[in-house]
Structure 1
Amino acid sequence: MDVTELILHQHAEQRRMFAMLDEIPREDTETLGAVWKRLEILLETHAEAEELFVYPLLLRVGTGQADADDVEDEVEDAVKDHNEIRDGIRRAAQEDVGSNAWWEAVVDCRVANSDHMAEEERQDLADFRRHTDLQARHDIAVRFLRHESLRAAYGVTPGDKDPDEFIDQHT
């Protein structure tokens, strides 16, 4: 098990769940709400686990990949992206499921998430694979899954992180 492969798998799951929302009849608000709640939990537990287990080590060993200026830029942008995703989740929570305002918040969340995943896949994950060995990636994957599973069992409330404070704390 490799945490970078786990993250890629969860990215595919996130894409699939957003696509499922597209397929649910608009008037079936019970199903929309249930699927959205499941996706909301996945998005937040995934972001939290990255912030706890991947980004701190990446800040210590990474150098920056692809179009990132450096590793700090890579991680700061990722944390900001997580906050944008959380903003969409919070906005959706304030609207009636299935309403135009709810869909607008969900779409904004989807766009922020899609942009984040693309950047993370070409920057953070490439950097992480290049600078950590398979055993470290396995050990982190186990901790990542444990954290997500325990948090998801009880539901989550999204909470923003200050990107600058995050960088300062982990460098």
Structure 2
Amino acid sequence: MDVTEVILHQHAEQRRMFAMIEEWPRDDEAGLDALWKRLEILLEVHADAEERFFYPELVRLGTGGGDAPSAQEEVEDAIKDHNEIRDGIRAVRRCEAGSDKWYAAVLETNVANSDHMAEEERQDLTDFRHHASLTLRHDLAVQFLRYESQHWARGVKPVDKDPEEFVEEHEA
């Protein structure tokens, strides 16, 4: 197991679930609501697990991957992205499933999440693969998956974080 592979696999699942919502019959509000709740839990638990296990180690070990100047910038941007995804999730919750406003909020969340995943795959995961040992990557995968398994049924409480404070806390 490798935490970067776990993250990539979950990104694929997130993309698949957004696609399912796009293809689902628009008049099946109960089905749309159920799909969204499953995706919401996946997004929230995934982001929380990254913030607990992956990003602290990236701040400690990384130097900047892809087009990122530093690991600190990568992580600040990722935390900001997670906050934007949480904003989108909150917007979806305020709408009736299947309504035009609901679809607009789902699309907003999809765009924020897609942008985040692309950047994370190009920068953060690349940087981590270059600097983390295989043992650390395995150990983080175990912690990440254990945490997600424990929180899959109910999710986690979404909590926005200050990107700069997050990096400062984990640099020490």
- TM-score, with structure 1 as normaliser: 0.98
Other structure's SS at 1:156 match: coil
Name the CA distance, whole Å, in 2 between partners of 1:5 and 1:143: 14
Q: How many residues align?
A: 171
Counterpart code for 1:118: A
Q: Does 2:55 correspond to 1:55?
A: yes
Name the CA distance, whole Å, in 1 between partners of 2:85 and 2:130: 27
Superposed structure 1 runs of 4+ greater than 4 Å apart: none
Other structure's SS at 1:165 match: helix
Distance apart, 1:156 and its partner CA: 2.8
Counterpart code for 2:79: V
Contact 1:90-1:158 at 8 Å conserved across structures: no
Specify the alignment match of 2:27 in structure 1: 27
Name the CA distance, whole Å, in 2 between partners of 1:96 and 1:35: 14
Name the CA distance, whole Å, in 2 between partners of 1:154 and 1:41: 7
Distance apart, 1:135 and its partner CA: 1.2
Counterpart code for 1:164: E
Q: CA RMSD in A?
A: 0.8
Name the CA distance, whole Å, in 2 between partners of 1:133 and 1:168: 23
Specify the alignment match of 1:166 in structure 2: 166
Distance apart, 1:162 and its partner CA: 0.9
Name the CA distance, whole Å, in 1 between partners of 2:154 and 2:70: 36
Name the CA distance, whole Å, in 1 between partners of 2:40 and 2:5: 21
Specify the alignment match of 2:73 in structure 1: 73
Name the CA distance, whole Å, in 2 between partners of 1:89 and 1:158: 9
Specify the alignment match of 2:136 in structure 1: 136
Other structure's SS at 1:58 match: helix
Name the CA distance, whole Å, in 2 between partners of 1:66 and 1:41: 29
Specify the alignment match of 1:13 in structure 2: 13
Structure 2: gaps (5+ residues): none
Distance apart, 1:164 and its partner CA: 1.1
Distance apart, 1:7 and its partner CA: 0.3
Q: Residues 93-104 of structure 1 correspond to what in structure 2 (within 5 A)?
A: 93-104=93-104
Name the CA distance, whole Å, in 2 between partners of 1:149 and 1:59: 25
Name the CA distance, whole Å, in 1 between partners of 2:161 and 2:9: 24
Name the CA distance, whole Å, in 2 between partners of 1:8 and 1:133: 18
Specify the alignment match of 1:44 in structure 2: 44
Q: Residues 87-166 of structure 1 correspond to what in structure 2 (within 5 A)?
A: 87-166=87-166
Distance apart, 1:54 and its partner CA: 0.5
Name the CA distance, whole Å, in 2 between partners of 1:158 and 1:29: 24
Distance apart, 1:151 and its partner CA: 1.3
